Structure formats: C-alpha cells, structure tokens
C-alpha cells in the first residue's frame, strides 16, 4: 500500500513550512464559514488540506502510468510511475535478462525519465521486495479517514507554532481569546455600539458581563453569524481602553476599567520592588533552603514538578497590609490563567465561613487582590499561616487558616518613634490563628508605620543600613542578641519591599553581620 508523505514524521518535522497556498486556504475557510477559529482548529484544517492536496497530486501522477513493482512484467514503450522516487514517471525503452544468483531469473528494464536521465530497474522478480504492493488498493484511505488526532498529538505543537508565526505577519489576520479571524470580515461595531456597551456595564456596576449579555442590549446587526457577532464585539472592546477583559481562560468577561479597585489598576506601593543586584552564589545551602521555605514571589523560584492542590505558607507584611496573596512558585498554579487578559477576575472563598469574595489575579505583577476584609474580619497577624486550596472550578479558590479560640501570646510589635525611627518590642496580644513565630509581627498604629515606608521609586537607603537598624531592634528582644534570618526578612519588609535573596547575600557579604551558627546572625 502506498503511503502519503503527509502522514510521515519527516514531512511534518523536516519539510513542513507554511506556504502562501496554506494561507489562502485558511482565508477561504474564514470566508466560507464566517466563524472565528482557534489555532488548533486551523492546524487540523491545514493537516487535512495538505493530505487532500497530496492525494490529488498522486492520483494525477498515477493516471500517467502503472505503478512500478519489481514483481511485474513490463513492455518496451510502457509508461511507469515510481512512488519511491517522488512519483515521477518514465517510459520503458529497453529490456534485458538479469544476472544475480540470489534472485534467480528476472528481467532488467531500462527507463527514460522526463528530465533526460535513464535508470535500470528489476522486473519479473520472484523474490520478495518492499516495493511490491500486496494490497489491492493503490493509495491509502482517503484523507478524510486519516487519524487527524494522531497527527495533532505528534506534530500539533510545531504546526501551531509555525501557523501562528505566519498569521501574525498577515495584516488582515486578527486574534483574540485564542481565536483567529479576518479583520475585513468582522461585523460592523461602531463608536455608538461601544458607548452603549459602556452604559450596559455601568448599569451592572462595572461588570463582569459576558459578551452575549452585552450584545442583547446594544443591537448589533442581526444578519451576522452569532459567533462572529461575539468575536467582532470582543475585538472592538479589547481595543478600547475603557474596557477590560477579566475572564479566566476559556471564558470572556468584560469589566469597566474605571470601576476596578485601585489596587487592581495600579500595583500597591508596598508590593513594588526595584531589583537589587546581589551575588546569589554567596547563599549557603541553609540560606537557599530558607529562601525556598519563605517562597517570596519575587525570588523567581521554579514551581515544584508535582504541584500540590493545597499549599500553606506564612504571610509577610506587604501582602497583609495590602490585602493580597503572593503568586509564588508554590501558589501560582492554584489560580486561573487567561489568554491575554492582564487581570483575571475570580472568586475567593473564606474557608472559615464559606463567604465568597471577589478576587483579582495579576500574573504580570505576581499577586492576587481581594483579601483585605478577610484579614481584618479574622484579625490575622503578619506571619499567619494561610492555606490556599483549589476547587473543581478553576475560577474558585479557598483561602483558610488554622483557627482557635483567641489566646494572649508574646509577639514582636512594630512601634514608630517620634524621631522617625521604628522600634520593636515584645508585647502580649490576643491571636486566634496559627502563625509562624519567626515571621509574626504586630502593629497598633498603622498610620504611623505607613509613614515610615520606603517607596520603591524614592532615593533608597542602602539595604545594609535597613538591615542593621532592624537587627539592632530585633537583637534586643532575645537574651543571646541573635536574629534568625527569616525574622530579619519579615522585619525588613515592614519598611521596604525586598525578597530574601538580597537580604541573605548581604548577611554573608558584609563584615558587620556575624554568623553564629544555623540560621542565626548578630551584629559584630
């Protein structure tokens, strides 16, 4: 049975390139169907097109002569087609007896090809040969019966990549939320429709609303395919700065940009960080392990190979103060993704009460906003051990903690002084949640502590100076006058945003910080 080259690995891995003919076929597909299609759907159409195209070429070639098989007999003047040579055809111009003891008696035919070359081939060969067709069919099953799923599984990633690269170069090709279409075929969405869409969202308190709900109230042309109506409005809304697409992957939801919380439109000041260069090779195995334990979202750590469905971590001061969660290496897989949306709206569920809260995922800036009321309601301290759990719905995540009857415990309290400095004292406070004793911090006067915050864009005090000031205060709280590296990280982040890497590297590099064993340090 003859095999189509478009079913082989070499064809898709070594020979395949997107041609002008492929693009023309895809554009015609859009024209005929009036349906936006995903990259995977286009790749499937392209595979089928290539298979059908090759099958047609082969049929035309085979009509020019008989398929050459070593077992058959041929006459001078007969025209043959050679599948192993790319289905070229040639005419038999001579015959002679063959001479090879291994194969017995056979005939050698001489064939002249259209390019002027001549070659000899065996015929009437009694011994088996791979070029003999034992099946009665000349070609494999028609292209419509080919296993497209198998070809997509094996070569789909490369086909999609090359196809998307080429479509991005086409001026008329437009893309939104995982689907492609032609700009010239979009339904007419004018400025009046966009004003009406804004009014609809205002009535619904800014959103979120799906595109179909907006269409029902703005009267787009009814003679257009419904899917094309949705895609056309999506494309227009996406390119208007008043609207924000906030749906998780697989779902398009629209929100008015001006109605979003300030912490969603702009990164909160306490989460902003100007990277500090440091020598990461200074970090010992112990400090590296501590960095992974803290799992700060700014540490650029790799996600675990087998991410867990439930993650427990200690909350630092910047996230506790801004009502956010970090999208750290262990947490980021628990939250919904999106096609292009920089902000994704989701549901955060209070694990204690079941109450639902609106959450916003900002992957570019590595945080989730929406937990300020949750933290205040449960009176959670800095350093609280939070547990984040996935649900069956990717757009819903449970946030919980280990609650207990409030009991009075000694914790480190941040106390602003009149001279503009920050001191720490051990004081008793009632706490009703499990926490990390090395990270815990308390604050009574938030406004005064806020006034001491060092903005990321302000002239920065050297990190070592901040660390020295904090170590002086922390060392007073223990008889040994030593400070745990994790505690220092927590205290530093009460006045400036910094991941553990630069802090730990500074501990090792600067002579004023003395290592006293384990993760403990003191001022020399």
Mean pLDDT (the chain) is 89
**One-letter-per-residue 3-state SS of 111-162:** EEECCCCEEEEEECCCCCCCCCCCCCCCECCCHHHCCHHHHHHHHHHHHHHH
255: its two tokens: 């929100």
Of the pLDDT bands very low, low, confident and very high (cuts 50, 70, 90), residue 60 is confident
Q: What is the pLDDT of residues 256-275, one digit of tens each?
A: 999 999 999 999 999 999 99
Percent pLDDT > 70 in the chain is 94
- Alpha-carbon distance of 316 to 270, in angstroms, equals 11
Q: Which of 54, 56, 41 is nearest to 12 (CA)?
A: 54
DSSP H or E run through 59: helix 39-62
So what's the pLDDT on residue 3? 56
Q: Tell me the CA end-to-end span of the chain in Å, nearest whole number.
A: 83
Of the pLDDT bands very low, low, confident and very high (cuts 50, 70, 90), residue 144 is low
Q: Which of 214, 178, 211 is nearest to 196 (CA)?
A: 214
Give the Å distances, CA to CA, from 277 to 498, 499, 514: 11, 12, 21
Kindly report the number of other CB atoms within 10 A of residue 382's CB atom.
Answer: 27
Q: Which of 167, 95, 83, 81 is nearest to 124 (CA)?
A: 95
pTM over 0.95: no
- Would you give the distance in Å from CA 208 to the centre of its chain? 23
Percent pLDDT > 90 in the chain is 65
- Kindly report whether the peptide bond that precedes residue 208 is cis, defined as omega within 30 degrees of 0: yes
pLDDT at 198 over 50: yes
- Alpha-carbon distance of 89 to 77, in angstroms, equals 13
Q: Are strands 253-256 and 324-326 parallel, antiparallel or unpaired?
A: unpaired
Q: Which of 249, 419, 464, 401 is nearest to 336 (CA)?
A: 249
pLDDT at 338 over 80: no
- Alpha-carbon distance of 22 to 37, in angstroms, equals 15
So what's the pLDDT on residue 89? 85
- Alpha-carbon distance of 43 to 46, in angstroms, equals 5
Q: Which of 215, 250, 221, 248 is nearest to 234 (CA)?
A: 215
With tokens 């919380």, the residue in question is: 261
Q: Which of 301, 357, 375, 358 is nearest to 332 (CA)?
A: 301
């Amino acid at each position: 049975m003859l095999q189509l080259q478009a079913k082989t690995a070499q064809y898709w891995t070594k020979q395949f390139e997107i041609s002008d003919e492929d693009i023309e076929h895809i554009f015609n597909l859009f024209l005929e169907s009036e349906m936006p299609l995903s990259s995977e759907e286009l790749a499937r159409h392209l595979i089928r097109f290539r298979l059908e195209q090759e099958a047609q070429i082969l049929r035309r070639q085979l009509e020019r002569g008989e398929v050459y098989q070593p077992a058959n007999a041929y006459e001078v003047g007969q025209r043959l087609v050679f599948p192993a040579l790319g289905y070229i055809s040639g005419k038999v111009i001579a015959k002679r007896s063959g001479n090879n003891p291994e194969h017995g008696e056979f005939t050698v035919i001489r064939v002249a090809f259209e390019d002027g070359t001549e070659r000899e081939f065996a015929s009437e060969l009694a011994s088996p040969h791979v070029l003999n067709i034992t099946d009665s069919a000349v070609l494999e099953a028609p292209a419509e019966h080919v296993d497209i799923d198998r070809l997509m599984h094996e070569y789909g990633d490369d086909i999609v990549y090359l196809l998307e690269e080429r479509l991005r170069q086409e001026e008329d090709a437009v893309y939104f939320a995982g689907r492609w279409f032609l700009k010239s075929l979009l339904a007419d969405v004018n400025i009046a429709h966009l004003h009406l869409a804004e009014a609809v969202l205002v009535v619904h308190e800014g959103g979120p609303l799906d595109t179909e709900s907006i269409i029902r109230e703005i009267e787009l042309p009814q003679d257009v395919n419904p899917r094309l109506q949705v895609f056309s409005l999506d494309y227009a809304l996406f390119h208007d700065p008043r609207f924000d697409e906030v749906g998780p992957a697989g779902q398009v939801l629209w929100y008015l940009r001006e109605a979003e919380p300030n912490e969603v439109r702009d990164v909160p000041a306490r989460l902003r960080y100007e990277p500090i260069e440091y020598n990461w090779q200074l970090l010992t195995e112990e400090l590296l392990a501590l960095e992974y334990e803290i799992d700060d979202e700014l540490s650029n750590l790799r996600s675990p190979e087998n991410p867990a469905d439930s993650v427990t971590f200690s909350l630092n001061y910047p996230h506790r103060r801004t009502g956010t969660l970090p999208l750290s290496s262990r947490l980021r897989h628990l939250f919904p993704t999106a096609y292009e949306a920089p902000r994704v709206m989701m549901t955060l569920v209070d694990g204690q009460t079941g109450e639902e809260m609106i959450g916003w995922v900002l992957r570019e800036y590595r945080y989730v906003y929406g937990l300020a009321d949750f933290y205040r309601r449960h009176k959670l301290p800095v350093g609280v051990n939070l547990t984040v759990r996935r649900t069956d719905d990717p757009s819903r995540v449970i946030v919980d903690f280990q609650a207990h009857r409030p009991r009075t415990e000694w914790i480190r309290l941040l106390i602003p002084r009149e001279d503009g400095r920050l001191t720490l004292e051990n004081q008793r406070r009632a706490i009703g949640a499990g926490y990390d004793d090395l990270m815990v911090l308390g604050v009574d006067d938030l406004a005064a502590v806020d006034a001491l915050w060092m903005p990321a864009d302000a002239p920065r005090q050297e990190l070592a100076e901040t660390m020295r000031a904090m170590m002086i205060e922390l060392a007073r709280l223990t008889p040994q006058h030593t400070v745990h590296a994790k505690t220092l990280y927590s205290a530093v982040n009460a006045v400036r945003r910094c991941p553990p890497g630069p802090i730990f590297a500074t501990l090792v590099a600067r002579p004023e910080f003395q290592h006293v064993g384990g993760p403990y340090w003191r001022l020399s």
